[in-house]
Amino acid sequence: MSKLGILCCSSVFFSIIFIVGLNNSAAAPKKPDMVIYNGAIYTMDVQKPIVEAVAVTDGKIVYAGSFKKVRRMIGKETVLTDLQGKTMTPGFIESHGHIFSLGKAKMRHDLAGIKNYQELVNIVENAVSKAAPGEWILGRGWHQSKWDEPPGLMVRGFQTHHALTAVSPDNPVFLKHASGHAGFANAKAMEIAGVDSETVFTDDGEIIKDDNKEPTGIFNEAAQKLITKHIPEQPSKEVLRKQLSLALQECVSNGITTFDDAGATGEQIQMYQEFLAQGKLKVRIRAMLDGKDKLLLKQWYDRGPKVNFDNPFLTIRSIKLISDGALGSRGAWLLEPYTDRQNHYGNNLIRMDKVYEVATDALRYGFQLCVHAIGDRANREVLDQYEKALKENSHIAKDHRFRIEHAQHLSAQDIPRFSKLGVIASMQGIHMSSDRPWAIERLGKQRIVEGAYVWQKLLQSATVIINGTDAPVEPINPVACFYALVTRQTLKADPPDGYEADQKMSREQALRSYTLDAAYGGFEENIKGSISVGKLADFTVFSQDIMKVPDDKLLDTTIEYTIINGKIVYKAG
């Protein structure tokens, strides 16, 4: 063969080798960034409910299955995360909370754990000793119905300000109820606000007064504004940054990977956008627009929803309205009077034609509507408005996923309406644990049994239930909430068999309500909520197997890791 022929053959040979090499290179999959193994891994994927190992690349799940197979995928740069027998689930989703309030609560006096009125007074007395003259003393978390013993003097189920005023005569005090639907002021705060026996409040709420018409210090619902408008605390951007930073850290240390912020202002949304641009929004946020702000709604109607299904860290496609108050403050709107307060039905906080109007606009502009409703009348009225809006806009209401936030106390005839209308029940299991011991005094046994915290009745009617804690109303800890769901006990394990035990969730139902169904609650079940190939690599790792550990050991469970977008953002210790 001539030199030219040999050269041509060589050229063809090396070209073939080069092309084969290119094809092999293209076919070779990228090595995973992370492999997680050696633990109980519950996927919420019906095809593979439990797996041995998970591989992650570029923030997404690329494999879930046997460790033997995943071991072949490991490369030099792959981070190996040995669970050491711990338990991993899809990332827990907080479906209803208030993130800036959570951060604010970390900056104020925490009254959630106090056992009686005297402890509250002691905390304030200590704060006064460190405060400047005239400085406001602020706190949140007290709940008179959870105290071990009632104060000596109570008016309409609440304590009076006199002991509080005695320890803080010169410093104004305002302490938010755990629910946020009531507040407690001392005499100095009322003096600054100009509130006295002659003050009349006719808006949605009330000033609690004694038999002599003297204010007791308790301000329900919108009446709180009489005091709060005098508190010099318009949050600066720096304060908002601190609140958000503290809250995000609280989320990750509790295993929360996505947080539904139930009512964000325009200023708060700007702060989310700032954190997102700076790469500091380490928890995925689904923000509900504050429906009270007409200008904010118009801006977003014109702009349209903010959705990114590829790698969402900030989603804005929901609106939040509030239809009534809380059961603890007797503000929940009822069909029949409160058992422990004659002729009192609670508070309706919004006109129903407004709910209908926003529901119609939400359908028109592609938004989801989420309405706070706790009492049975509030739930019925909101369902009525949803039904009307959905019927009149059936051509654009195919997958609306409207929600009722809390759905705490329902009339029996309204329970099946949730499923019929395609309305999601956004409930908080921990509320049952915290509220049930005293809620029976508000509603009586019949109403409790028929319609309060009726998880199984809703599930059996094919309603989707999503879960959360309403933080900072309750601690954001999902383990306590999970425990309440499956035991229906208080956190002190009372009663032994649980309250209305037939309404307990199974552990799988409870896990689903915090993961796959919670993802559905934000239109994201195709990208999160289960450990499936192609979904986002968001995981929560627990110290114990929450699907098997005995009930009496469940509360000992802690968060070992929180993994978001394939990165460890929290590790215990």
Q: Average pLDDT of 172-197?
A: 94
Token duo for residue 79: 């981070």
Q: Which pLDDT does position 326 carry in this prediction?
A: 94
For residue 465, give its domain range.
323-505
Q: Is the pLDDT of residue 17 over 70?
A: no
| Residue that the structure tokens 């050229």 belong to | 11
DSSP bridge partners of 559? 542
156 and 22 co-located in one domain: no
Identify which of 352, 300, 347, 276 has the alpha carbon closest to the alpha carbon of residue 321. 352
464 and 336 co-located in one domain: yes
Please write down the HEC assignment for all residues of 375-390: CHHHHHHHHHHHHHHH
Q: Say if 113 falls within a structural domain.
A: no
334 and 463 co-located in one domain: yes
Mean pLDDT rounded to a whole number for the chain = 93
Q: Say if 87 falls within a structural domain.
A: no
pLDDT band at residue 255 using 50, 70 and 90 as cut-offs: very high
Token duo for residue 103: 């951060």
Q: Which pLDDT does position 23 carry in this prediction?
A: 44
- 568 Cβ contact list (under 8 Å, min separation 6): 81, 561, 562
Domain count, the chain: 3
Last residue of a domain, one of 190, 205, 228: 228
341 and 210 co-located in one domain: no
Q: Say if 354 falls within a structural domain.
A: yes
- Whether the CB-CB separation of 230 and 186 falls below 8 Å is answered with no
Q: Say if 63 falls within a structural domain.
A: no
Identify which of 474, 508, 560, 518 has the alpha carbon closest to the alpha carbon of residue 254. 560
**Spatial separation of the C-alpha atoms in residues 99 and 472, rounded to whole Å:** 8
Token duo for residue 336: 């029949």
Rg of the Cα atoms in the chain: 27
483 and 359 co-located in one domain: yes
224 and 371 co-located in one domain: no
For 131-177, the pLDDT digits (tens) are 888 989 999 889 998 898 888 889 988 999 999 999 999 999 999 99
Beta strands at 34-42 and 60-65: parallel, antiparallel or unpaired: unpaired
217 and 331 co-located in one domain: no
331 and 450 co-located in one domain: yes
Q: Which pLDDT does position 216 carry in this prediction?
A: 97
CATH of the domain at 478: 3.20.20.140
Q: Which pLDDT does position 19 carry in this prediction?
A: 42
For 39-92, the pLDDT digits (tens) are 999 999 999 999 999 999 999 999 999 999 999 999 999 999 999 999 999 999
**Residue 49 — left, alpha, or beta (φ > 0 → left; ψ -120 to 50 → alpha)?**
alpha
222 and 350 co-located in one domain: no
Token duo for residue 454: 């009726």
Q: Which pLDDT does position 14 carry in this prediction?
A: 41
Q: Which pLDDT does position 28 carry in this prediction?
A: 62
Token duo for residue 356: 């209908």
487 and 364 co-located in one domain: yes
Q: Say if 312 falls within a structural domain.
A: no
Q: Say if 206 falls within a structural domain.
A: yes
Q: Is the pLDDT of residue 502 over 60?
A: yes
For 112-131, the pLDDT digits (tens) are 889 999 999 999 999 899 88
Q: How many Cβ atoms are within 10 Å of 385's Cβ, its own excluded?
A: 24
Last residue of a domain, one of 203, 228, 253: 228
Q: Say if 483 falls within a structural domain.
A: yes
Cα distance between the two ends of the chain = 74
Q: Say if 174 falls within a structural domain.
A: yes
Strand order in the sheet with 215-221: 109-110, 137-142, 173-177, 182-185, 215-221, 205-209
Last residue of a domain, one of 457, 472, 505: 505
486 and 365 co-located in one domain: yes
* Separation in Å, CA 169 to CA 155, 159, 426: 21, 17, 42
490 and 367 co-located in one domain: yes
